[in-house]
Amino acid sequence: MDRERTWWKEAVVYQIYPKSFNDSDGDGVGDLQGVIDRLDHVESLGADVIWLNPVYESPQADNGYDISDYRAIHEEYGTMEDWEDLLAEVHDRGMRLIMDLVVNHTSTDHEWFRKSREGEDGYREYYYWRDGDGEEPPNNWKSGFGGSAWERDEEVGEQYLHLFDRTQADLNWDNAEVREDVYEMMNWWLEKGIDGFRMDVVNLVSKPEGLPDGDPEQDWTGIEHFANGPNAQAYLEEMAERTYDDYDTMTVGECVDVDVETASDYVSADGPMDMLFHFEHMFVDVGDRWLSPAEWDLTDLKAVMSHWQTELDGWNSLYLTNHDQPRIVSRFADDGEYRRESGKLLATLLFTLSGTPYVYQGQEIGMTNYPWSSLDELDDLQSIGKVEEAMEAGEVDAFEEVQDIVRARSRDNARTPMQWDESEHAGFTDGDPWLAVNPDYEEVNVAAAERDGDSILQYYRTLVDVRDENDVLVYGDYQLLIPDHEELWAYRRTLTTDGGTDEVLVVLNFDDTETVATLDDAERAGEVVVANYDEVPTTDGVLTLRPYEARVYELE
């Protein structure tokens, strides 16, 4: 483990999805002034860095991940002045701000794509245009949102590649002009004083010569070709050299279909990124297709996370959800009777593993998945695309048939408006919210959590302090214990410095029943550092944990 002390290793990152965070002008859509108005909440949590999802000019087909102008702010979110005020307010509070960098693709409304369609000098090669065979696509690659990854443009008479929505055309990074324009744009934002980037699907930017067909058995056909392509490492290294390497920044790359070995090339000490988001733990409950659910076992989740804890040559990012994933209490624990204990249990996991923890808005109050009951209620291109694809294939006749899967898996679960209080629309807006507010908002909201000294929110604040005060939780080695236990996740963290060796034991019960285990380490269990139940009984090696109980002990 690379123990060199660095601010972003000791940081806690709070992720804000501006469209759903807080609406200041009553148009039902969150905005930048709304973020500024709620910075006290973020600061009070003890967050050090804010990751802002895309706020750039965009037709909003994919809620901002379809950018039409990288140097302008989306009108519904406010103005560049509002953004500059936000940056100043964040810095005045001693926090940092990282922006979302979306350069694998642009919106088809972007000037580059318009010039490319018109074949303006040199712009045609900014994207992937191919003849294809009449109506047939040039290859069998699929879009991550369902359907073919190719769209025919009748006027151009050719097809263009889009690994996501047809309004998100993939940039041709093999074209040095494209890379130059991207680096210039990044330096423009760095000069404005941002503290880094979260980089969207950044390991997809290099596509192999000839764009060969993919294995049709793959749910995302072609991924073995367009993920970690032939020049991905080289382009990321060039990007780092030409932009953020000259600044005191933090970079985290979203990398689909990456394993520990490839990831180590990207984030090792001399790699082009500080950390990355992998998806291996995000697929423990996903079958071979998006629409096919799979029962998940704790032993699988433990195995995946422990592998990254011990085998990554670099620094881990720690996340259990974000704007693309379901709510964690609903997914990994219990969002009913034990929602409070579950929220705290998962927080304990996130703050006691080695790496930088990311908290997604609403996670700190234990927000839950939404009971979607029709396709019309949904906004997320991926959920809608996957259901429509199955309907077109005749696999699904009615929404009811896939309702449970959509309720469990839809990205919209993470995008329902933030729940601030018990007032109408959960205090998110005085207008009509762009997406439905979760009906549990009268119970699950920030105001109620503030009034309740034993709330999940208060527990997050405690964990932030505990992590600040215990370097072993940041820089310590990780050792999984009882790997085959199906209800308990137990591990030891160990840090040896000149001042001696610190050890802590973390024990987490992922079951809704009392669970007993014998742990040698528990014989050395000393002071309780933090726990999500009051009265923690002493132990002589035999541990009896209550439903969704979490305990962190100092080891003597």
Binding site for ligand TEU (CB under 6 A): 62, 65, 102, 144, 164, 200-201, 254, 256, 282, 323-324, 382
Q: What are phi and psi of 405, to 5 degrees?
A: -65, -45
Of 144, 188, 150, 164, which Cα lies nearest the Cα of 56? 188
Write down the least CB distance from residue 323 to ligand TEU, Å.
6
CA distance 274 to 408: 32
Write down the least CB distance from residue 14 to ligand TEU, Å.
16
Write down the least CB distance from residue 476 to ligand TEU, Å.
30
C-alpha torsion sign, points 84, 89, 92, 97 = negative
Q: Is 254 noted as a catalytic residue in this protein?
A: yes
Write down the least CB distance from residue 328 to ligand TEU, Å.
14
Residue (87 or 201) nearer to ligand TEU, CB: 201
Tokens of 552: 């962190």
Residue (90 or 103) nearer to ligand TEU, CB: 103
Write down the least CB distance from residue 498 to ligand TEU, Å.
42
Q: What is the DSSP string of 476-510?
A: -EEEEESTT-SSEEEEEEEEEETTEEEEEEEEEE-
Residue (38 or 278) nearer to ligand TEU, CB: 278
CA distance 182 to 230: 19
Strand duo 13-16 + 356-360: pairing: parallel
Which residue, chain included where needed, has tokens 């082009």? 272
Write down the least CB distance from residue 471 to ligand TEU, Å.
32
Which residue, chain included where needed, has tokens 């009896």? 544
Strand duo 96-101 + 196-199: pairing: parallel
CA distance 13 to 452: 24
Given 48, 82, 195, 254, the catalytic residue:
254
Residue (126 or 164) nearer to ligand TEU, CB: 164
Of 67, 144, 61, 60, which Cα lies nearest the Cα of 100? 67
Residue (285 or 503) nearer to ligand TEU, CB: 285
The three-point CA angle 18-253-225 to 5° equals 120
> Cα–Cα distances in Å, from 186 out to 79, 239, 242, 270, 549?
19, 9, 9, 21, 45
Write down the least CB distance from residue 129 to ligand TEU, Å.
20
DSSP 8-state code for residue 430: S
Residue (87 or 102) nearer to ligand TEU, CB: 102
Given 62, 66, 200, 502, the catalytic residue:
200
Question: Which helix (H) or strand (E) covers residue 551, if one does?
Answer: strand 550-555
Residue (65 or 77) nearer to ligand TEU, CB: 65
Q: Is 274 noted as a catalytic residue in this protein?
A: no
Q: List 100's β-bridge partners, or say none.
A: 198
- Where do the H-state alpha helices sit in 77-139? 80-92, 111-117
3-class DSSP state of 224: helix
CA distance 210 to 467: 49
- Residues annotated as catalytic (active site), given as ranges: 200, 254
